């Protein structure tokens, strides 16, 4: 009997006991290939010796000092590092402990910015349907998953939602991607006009939509038009790169590929790579200056913000990503993965779309490719894909409600940046979890999925991780094997 309130009451979870590279081992000794980095978190895989060494060093010096009394060397260094590599104009960083906190801070800082500038009439937020921004009340309010918001409706701040940039389902057959982006931008502008331009605080969007849509980038030009609209109306652009940021799409920030710089940007998962809970809010200097020259304090803080151990982990993660040129690896392996996914699933009867950027790829499952009809939600297909994959030793990140919050399913793949054989992840995803023919179509709530199952053992053996040098001969940590000999098993 567990005393933990788990995500699903009554479900039994394997106990994660250890991890190395792209593999997690449970207490029974079963191994799982982490092809989703958890929820796009573990960008360096597990037990990276350099990160562990940096954390131990910090622990030996100081675990915690409250930020109302002290700053810490490591928080200062991490902020310097983030600003040095941030989009244009970003000059300061506010540390938090995760993605929802980063979004919450973004919403409050945006509101305070306008209050300090003498525009207190700005009170509403515009965001997009089919987006996820977290579970705290502000983040939930801007999130676009209706089923998740519904019961908490009375507690949520006023937010208005527009259409996501979801080309697979949203673009009309007679429209170019650019024209589709124009139409979406116009929808945003119409909404702003309807609300009154000077009442809107911010537009919030995931640069590449992760959990709710399954790695969906915007169409070309969309974010430039959005940036322009926000500027013309004096509205802040808040980009949520909690999942898609910090290298996941092949550039440190996903917005680099859109050619825009946000006013505020939330980052989290890949920042600390799962070694410690940490998130951050990056802000334009104009926002910092308004507060600095106004009240002098952002009216928002947490006991554990800027925790030295979390900052040490994140700083080490970011240094390893740069030192080992892992963004180049994300681009190379991401291209392999995308190619192999297209080869494997491009003609699959139940895969309607394969999309994504870098090591952030999604498959949308459909019952009929021609009509794009999703599967019956009663099948709980995404949950079954997850269960079947786990049974075969593979972690992927499936989700339901892709189409409209209720219908539709997708599978997200987001392997660690150290992966050296992304095609194997693709093979594993295919063999582990997806029905391969009409005969394999899910039968019903109690029916079993008929899958083609290749040897996941062979798959597991063949996944290699890149070299990650140890911290030296004196290091007490388990040495990583060399790139040529190391396998994930």
Q: Which residues in this chain contact ligand PLP in the complex, by CB under 6 A?
A: 39, 98-100, 103, 132-134, 206, 210-211, 240, 242-243, 268
Minimum distance from residue 21 beta carbon to ligand PLP (Å) = 23
CA 305 to chain centre: 21
Question: How far is it, in rounded angstroms, from Cα 285 to Cα 363?
Answer: 39
Query: What is the nearest approach in angstroms of ligand PLP to the Cβ of residue 466?
Result: 25
Give me the phi and psi of 415, to 5 degrees please.
Answer: -65, 160
Calculate the alpha carbon distances from 200 to 96, 100, 122, 134 in Å: 25, 21, 5, 21
Q: How far is the CB of 128 from ligand PLP (least distance, A)?
A: 11
Of 133 and 344, the one with the shorter C-beta distance to ligand PLP is 133
Phi, psi of 183 (to 5 degrees): -65, -40
User: Coil, strand, or helix at residue 154?
Assistant: helix
Nearer to ligand PLP, 122 or 145 (CB): 145
Minimum distance of ligand PLP from residue 215's CB (angstroms): 11
Q: Is 234 in contact with 240 (CB distance < 8 Å)?
A: no
Can you tell me whether residue 64 is helix, strand or coil?
A: coil
Of 114 and 132, the one with the shorter C-beta distance to ligand PLP is 132
Minimum Å distance from CB 131 to ligand PLP? 7
Q: Give the span between the Cα atoms of 170 and 402, in whole angstroms.
A: 12
Q: How far is the CB of 209 from ligand PLP (least distance, A)?
A: 8
φ, ψ for residue 167 (rounded to 5)?
-60, -40
CB of 39 to ligand PLP, least distance (A): 5
Q: Does the CA dihedral 228-83-93-254 come out positive or negative?
A: positive
Side-chain half-sphere exposure of 466, counting CA atoms within 13 A: 22
- Provide the terminal-to-terminal Cα distance of the chain, rounded to the nearest Å: 31
Compare residues 181 and 210 and give the one whose CB is closer to ligand PLP: 210
Structure tokens, 192? 């702003």
3-state secondary structure of 1: coil
Residue nearer to ligand PLP on the CB measure, 21 or 143: 143
Minimum Å gap between C-beta 134 and ligand PLP is: 3
The smaller minimum CB distance to ligand PLP, of residues 39 and 403, is found at: 39
Nearer residue to ligand PLP within complex by CB, 21 or 210? 210
Smaller CB distance to ligand PLP: residue 242 or 379? 242
d(C-alpha 140, C-alpha 145), whole Å: 8
Instruction: State how far the Cα of 463 lies from the Cα of 485, in Å rounded to an integer.
Output: 11
Burial 59-90 (b: 16+ CB within 10 A, else e): eeeeeeeebeeeebebbeebbebbeeebbeeb
- Nearest residue (beta carbon) to ligand PLP: 99
Closest contact distance (angstroms) between CB of 362 and ligand PLP is 13
CB of 99 to ligand PLP, least distance (A): 2
Nearer to ligand PLP by Cβ, of 188 and 267: the residue is 267
Residue-by-residue DSSP string for 258-284: GT---SEEEE-HHHHTTSS--EEEEEE
101 sits in which H/E element:
helix 99-116
**At closest approach, how far in Å is the CB of 87 from ligand PLP?**
17
CB 395 within 8 A of CB 38: yes
CB of 470 to ligand PLP, least distance (A): 30
Distance between CA 128 and CA 264 in Å, rounded? Answer: 17
Please tell me the total number of residues recorded for the chain in this structure.
489
Q: Which is nearer to ligand PLP, 134 or 352 (CB)?
A: 134
What per-residue string of b and e applies to 353-366 under the rule 16 or more CB within 10 Å gives b?
Answer: bbbbbbbbbbbbbb
**Residue with smaller CB distance to ligand PLP, 49 or 214:** 214
Please say which residue, 229 or 271, places its beta carbon nearer to ligand PLP.
271
Residue the block writes with tokens 């992760």: 210
């Amino acid at each position: 009997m567990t005393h933990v309130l788990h995500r699903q009451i009554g479900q039994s979870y394997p106990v994660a006991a250890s991890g190395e590279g792209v593999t997690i081992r449970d207490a029974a000794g079963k191994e799982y290939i982490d092809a989703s980095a958890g929820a796009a978190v573990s960008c360096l895989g597990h037990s990276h010796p350099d990160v562990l060494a940096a954390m131990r060093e910090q622990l030996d010096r100081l675990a915690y000092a409250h930020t109302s009394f002290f700053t810490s060397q490591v928080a200062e260094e991490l902020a310097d590092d983030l600003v040095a590599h941030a989009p244009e104009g970003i000059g300061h960083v506010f540390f938090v402990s995760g993605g929802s906190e980063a979004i919450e801070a973004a919403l409050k800082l945006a509101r305070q910015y306008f209050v300090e500038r003498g525009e207190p009439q700005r009170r509403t937020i515009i965001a997009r349907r089919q987006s996820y921004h977290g579970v705290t009340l502000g983040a939930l309010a801007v999130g676009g998953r209706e089923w998740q918001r519904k019961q908490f409706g009375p507690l949520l701040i006023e937010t208005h939602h527009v259409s996501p940039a979801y080309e697979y389902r949203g673009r009309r057959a007679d429209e170019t991607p650019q024209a589709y982006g124009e139409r979406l931008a116009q929808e945003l502008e119409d909404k702003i006009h309807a609300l009154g331009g000077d009442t809107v605080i911010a537009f919030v969007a995931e640069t590449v939509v992760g959990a709710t849509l399954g790695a969906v980038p915007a169409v070309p030009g969309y974010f430039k038009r959005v940036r322009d609209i926000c500027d013309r109306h004096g509205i802040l652009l808040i980009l949520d790169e909690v999942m898609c940021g910090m290298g996941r799409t092949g550039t440190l920030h996903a917005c680099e590929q859109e050619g825009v710089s946000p006013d505020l940007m939330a980052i989290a998962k890949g920042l600390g790579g799962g070694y410690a809970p940490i998130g951050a809010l990056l802000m334009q200097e104009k926002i910092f200056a308004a507060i600095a020259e106004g009240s002098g304090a952002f009216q928002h803080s947490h006991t554990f913000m800027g925790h030295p151990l979390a900052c040490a982990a994140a700083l080490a993660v970011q240094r390893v990503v740069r030192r080992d040129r892992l963004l180049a690896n994300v681009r190379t392996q991401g291209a392999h993965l995308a190619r192999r996914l297209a080869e494997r699933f491009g003609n699959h009867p139940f895969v309607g779309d394969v999309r994504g950027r870098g090591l952030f790829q999604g498959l949308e499952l459909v019952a009929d490719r021609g009509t794009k009809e999703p599967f019956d939600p009663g099948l709980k297909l995404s949950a079954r894909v997850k269960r079947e994959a786990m049974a075969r030793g593979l972690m992927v990140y499936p989700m339901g409600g892709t189409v409209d919050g209720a219908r539709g399913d997708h599978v997200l793949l987001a392997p660690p940046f150290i992966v050296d054989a992304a095609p194997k992840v693709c093979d594993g995803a295919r063999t582990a979890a997806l029905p391969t023919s009409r005969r394999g179509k899910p039968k019903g709530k109690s029916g079993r999925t008929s899958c083609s199952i290749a040897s996941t053992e062979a798959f597991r053996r063949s996944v290699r991780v890149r070299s990650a040098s140890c911290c030296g001969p004196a290091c007490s940590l388990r040495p990583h094997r060399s790139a040529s000999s190391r396998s994930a098993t």
